Amino acid sequence: MTDESIAATSPAATSPTATGPAATSAAADAVVRVRDRYAAAATRAAAGQTLVDPCETTVFGAGLYDGTDAAASLAVLPAGVAEASLGCGNPLAVVDLREGETVLDLGSGGGIDVLLSARRVGPAGRAIGLDMTDEMLDLARRHAAEAGVANAAFLKGRIEDIPLPDASVDVVISNCVITLSTDKPAVFREIARVLRPGGRLGVSDLVADAVATRTQDVDPTGCGVTAVTADEYRVMLAEAGLDGISVTPTHEAGPGLSAAIVRARRPEV
Ligand SMILES: C[S@@+](CC[C@H](N)C(=O)[O-])C[C@H]1O[C@@H](n2cnc3c(N)ncnc32)[C@H](O)[C@@H]1O
């Protein structure tokens, strides 16, 4: 994706507070910065180097899978998959996956949650990773090939404009990516569109602890985080037409920020 195409697809309204041409340009710049940061991280991971992404602290990465039933599955994945994990939680602990389901991971990075999901849904199911960064897609496809996982696919695209048909997915997961989006309402509308009626959302993400620590302009983690509060998150999910909404902060993840577990579902009718 070129910088021009990113600018062309960037949102007109970018946050609960920022609107207009300056905000649009700032949003496009933020997308470029996020993509470049994760392209560099993927390149280092592909070379077998330890990731030095500024997000990689004790509250991010594969350590968050310890003590869960995903830990055993992680142990059988090829070397490098866990090391390339840059999430802030474990979405597979947030949502139950059933045999035969189709799962979509928004911002799939090196593929950790896609590969774990593919095992959970079995050969009759499918796990799809979506990411805008070519280097991350290459890394994830390499990990899938090394793991011998046949029911996983990785698509290029933006989570604000998901390249999948309406009502084609049973479960949407994501791990520390929606917080990077400068157009969260668009992300939630797209989630509601691609979920089948009754489909579920299970996400690990970052939220601001209070309006005062919203990070629309300040990025204390250096990761491109644009965190909103849990209340704002709930309102946006409801406005997208989702129900069964819960946004539960779990642990501190930076100055004024918490990791959170997010659950919602698309109504049956
Ligand atoms: C914090 S990393 C998380 C990766 C993965 N979920 C994990 O747990 O390791 C963020 C990933 O989301 C991707 N990403 C960020 N913003 C995106 C957007 N708007 N659309 C698609 N992918 C995006 C980045 O390229 C990167 O691979």
Centre of ligand 1 to C-alpha 136, Å, is 8
In a domain, 174, yes or no: yes
Centre of ligand 1 to C-alpha 24, Å, is 20
Q: What is the pLDDT of residue 92?
A: 82
- Mutate which of 180, 205, 226, 262 to test ligand 1's pocket (most atoms within 8 Å of Cβ)? 180
Determine the distance from the C-alpha atom of residue 64 to the mean position of all C-alpha atoms in its chain, rounded to a whole number: 15
Which stretch of 67-76, 172-181, 207-216 has the lowest confidence by average pLDDT? 67-76
In a domain, 194, yes or no: yes
- Give per-residue pLDDT as tens, 148-203: 999 999 999 999 999 999 999 999 999 999 999 989 999 999 999 999 999 999 99
**Axis crossing angle, helix 230-239 with helix 184-194, rounded to the nearest 10:** 50
In a domain, 1, yes or no: no
Centre of ligand 1 to C-alpha 108, Å, is 6
CATH number for the domain that contains residue 98: 3.40.50.150
Shortest-distance Cα residue to atom 26 of ligand 1 = 109
Cα–Cα dist 189/181, whole Å: 13
Instruction: Say which residues have a Cβ less than 8 Å from residue 34's Cβ, sequence separation at least 6.
Output: 180, 224
Alpha helices, H only, the chain: 3-9, 21-46, 70-75, 112-121, 134-147, 184-194, 230-239
In a domain, 5, yes or no: no
Question: Of ligand 1's atoms, which has the minimum distance to the CA of residue 113?
Answer: 8
- Mutate which of 1, 15, 35, 38 to test ligand 1's pocket (most atoms within 8 Å of Cβ)? 38
Q: What is the pLDDT of residue 124?
A: 97
User: Where in the sequence is the domain holding 53, given as residue range(s)?
Assistant: 18-265
Strand order across the beta sheet in which 102-106 lies: 152-156, 126-131, 102-106, 169-175, 195-208, 257-265, 243-254
Centre of ligand 1 to C-alpha 84, Å, is 12
Q: What is the pLDDT of residue 196?
A: 98
Amino acid, res. 102: T
Cα–Cα dist 238/184, whole Å: 12
Domain count, the chain: 1
- The answer to whether residues 101 and 125 touch, using CB atoms and an 8 Å cutoff, is yes
Centre of ligand 1 to C-alpha 133, Å, is 8
In a domain, 156, yes or no: yes
**Axis crossing angle, helix 21-46 with helix 134-147, rounded to the nearest 10:** 40
The helix (run of H) or strand (run of E) holding residue 98 is: none
Cα–Cα dist 147/105, whole Å: 18
In a domain, 2, yes or no: no
In a domain, 11, yes or no: no
Q: What is the pLDDT of residue 218?
A: 52
Q: pLDDT band for 9, please (50, 70, 90 cuts).
A: very low
In a domain, 8, yes or no: no
